[in-house]
Structure 1
């Protein structure tokens, strides 16, 4: 390095006198800032009220917390400016003044709008707060501090989102477990309310085999897929079962079919539709019982509804399925008159033959055909279809048992 270069560098290097003067100016500005904290806070709140509609619409308690955050930001800036050697870690303390719930009351975007308003207010008052020689330094400090506040705000919201996600996942698993265990409606309602269930439509539960090694990514992906075919969804794993609660679908069977490939290789069962999430325990209980009995119907569709498995469930000891067979099929046929119930019985006993039934009853085959059609319209199950005739035959068996032995016809899940 030449002597000329060395001399130029020495000329550009601040002297101790320059540094002392800068510190003196900064200290003087710091005192003015400290004295003006109250004025700055008042001006900031007034500006918030005048320029931010969302702030004006907030509840008084939330407005108070937002004001506290703004005042904490101003105080932190003043404290840092008065001590330039201090690190900017005090920025994180700004958001500790407000409760964690405030991150739910205002968004990150709104928080950044708040920071911008505070910066604008301070910048406008720079000529009043700093001496002429220190105005540029104060403006630069405001911009640097506002940047750090923005980063701190993003970090606070990221942590809140992560914590909320973990809490929601645990609560969701608890809700699904409550459904399967059949806990009280009141307890379930309070938990789903905290979870933020949005759908006001009907609800149905889908149950299938869980993957051998389920991961959080699996349930997240399944939840997102479920929310594409329904208004809302809950996903949980209970023992070896993967359970999806769907809310607000226009066609639950179609929705379940769209999700079937995400379950394990065995059967997928759709529980009956219920009116609200608080009643979803009945749908879950039926789906779980049906999944245990579905092995008795090797050719069952995928997904299969729990109602389609009434006979298998009844034979497996499911009292709800027995009651459904009796109340939904046997009793309505019986109420239409003896001839209709007799025709269906004889038709099934004759191997589903119209001619053989007509000969047995001494009537025309068209009469048998009419009565069978009437039975289908009444109960929704067709005696002439192979699978549905099996369901009706099971209903006749349990109906006669109920009449002769006093078998219960009340569903345990009815409420």
Structure 2
């Protein structure tokens, strides 16, 4: 009685491998080859010997996986294979941080050299050249796979670092900087420089990553540490390492778009950088009122514009750093400055109104400069002093101002 037909065609027979004997010997030798590769690494690579046992164990697994992947690749060289997954997928992601790309290349080279030295023993008679050529091609593929693994790790780390840096910059600008922000900054390589300032300006159009990288290049050239980011249309740079905010801004100004660039005052650390950021932001907002402002400009040079634009910190700074010291220095200085700025605008005119010699007025104005750091004879400084006088009188009349 004939067998019933199932309707399913017979599966095609797999073609015999052209180098069956060599493939079989390669499968049998994979364990010993891996052991030889690990022994060679222990003998020739000092960094391997110095690693913790756990990491050496993972590297051993990678070597074994590499030899096994070569065996499979030799079995089916035309089949699509993900060598990076076959070889490096056995190790945890943290291993790419534990060993450098150079060390990984040395590990792969050592393993390939061990396999190459064993070709005459592993290959069946007559297959030596075939196995050697296959190993050369596989070495090229494993080199590309190694580069891919580290490129992906670097890309992932770069994306994570960018998010982390954005969190730190946002925290500083919003006044929410705390020890957590300091820890995140430390993870990005920020080593807590003594002098910190914030520089603000308009971000250029285009790829923000290119702008950030340009800032980093300028910072490296100026030997500054920076945390930077593009927030909306603003380019924010937190810079550390120099006690001159104007020099810092000048060294980093290249990547900024056209428009004002404002440097906040120097503060001692990242936790205090919010004060510098707020001053720079207020200065950037008020800078349009000073059409001849230099580029870059210090936030402290914009104190009168900031005060008129309702910046409470600028008002307080003008009163505390100009008006109060003059008040404490004596009524004569305040009176002389007031008459000079608001009525006479000349030494002789002020002297006549005060019934004193012009040299007395000249001496008192020099004292004003010594006490405040602002010269009444300079037009810009005179404007700042006048705003400070107005705010001081308002504060005396209403302590809440």
Q: Tell me if TM exceeds 0.5.
A: yes
Aligned to 1:320: 313
The alignment yields a C-alpha RMSD, in angstroms, of 3.1
Single out whichever of 254-263 and 288-297 deviates more from structure 2: 254-263
Q: Could you tell me which of 153, 168, 175 is aligned with 1:182?
A: 175
* CA–CA separation in structure 1 for the residues paired with 2:72 and 2:48: 27
Distance 1:116 1:50 in 2: 14
1:400 matched to 2:393: yes
Task: Report the CA distance between 1:320 and its aligned residue.
Answer: 0.9
Deviations 1:153-204 (CA, angstroms, capped at 9, x unpaired): 0111222223333333343334333332222323422332333335735222
Unmatched runs of 5 consecutive residues or more in structure 1: 1-18, 409-415
Aligned to 1:32: 28
The answer to whether the 8 Å contact 1:185/1:279 transfers is: no
Q: Which residue of the partner structure matches residue 275 of structure 2?
A: 282
- Identify if the C-alpha distance between structure 1 residues 192 and 326 changes in structure 2 by more than 3 Å, giving closer, same or farther: same
* 1:269 equivalent in structure 2: 262
Q: Evaluate the alpha carbon distance shift between residue 352 and residue 97 of structure 1 in structure 2; reply closer, same or farther with a 3 A threshold.
A: farther
Do the aligned partners of residues 375 and 60 (structure 1) sit closer, same or farther apart at CA in structure 2, a change above 3 Å counting? farther
Normalization by structure 1: what TM-score? 0.80
When structure 1 is superposed on structure 2, of 161-170 and 317-326 the one drifting more is 161-170
What are the superposed Cα offsets for residues 72-124 of structure 1, whole Å, 9 maximum, x if unpaired? 22332344446667555345321112233333333322211111111223333
Comparing 75-84 and 234-243, the one that deviates more: 75-84
Mark the CA change 1:148 to 1:273 in structure 2 (over 3 Å): closer, same or farther.
same
Residue in structure 1 matched with residue 10 of structure 2 by the alignment: none
Q: Secondary structure at the match of 1:207?
A: strand
Alignment check: 8 A CA contact 1:180 1:285 kept? yes
Residue 358 of structure 2 is matched in structure 1 by 365
The whole-number CA distance in structure 2 between the counterparts of 1:85 and 1:262 is 49
Structure 1 residues 58 and 273 mapped into 2: Cα distance closer, same or farther (>3 Å)? farther
- 3-state secondary structure, aligned to 1:237: strand
CA–CA distance in 1 between the matches of 2:195 and 2:250?
Answer: 18
Compare the two structures and name the one with the higher helix fraction.
1
Q: How many residues of Structure 1 are paired with residues of Structure 2 in the alignment?
A: 387
Change in 2 beyond 3 A, CA 1:388/1:130: same
Which residue is equivalent to 1:100?
93
- 1: distance between equivalents of 2:111 and 2:366? 77
Contact 1:81–1:141, Cα closer than 8 Å, also in 2 = yes
- Report the 3-state secondary structure (helix = DSSP H, G, I; strand = E; otherwise coil) of the residue aligned with 1:112: helix
- Asked if the contact 2:245–2:265 (Cα under 8 Å) also holds between the matched residues in 1, the reply is no
Instruction: State the match for 1:244 in structure 2.
Output: 237
Deviates more, 1:269-278 or 1:151-160: 269-278
1:86 to 1:319, Cα distance in 2 relative to 1, 3 A = same
C-alpha separation in 1, matches of 2:379 and 2:55: 65
Match of 1:8 in 2: none
Report Cα offsets for 1:342-390 as digits up to 9, x if no partner: 4333433344422333344444433333333233233222222111122
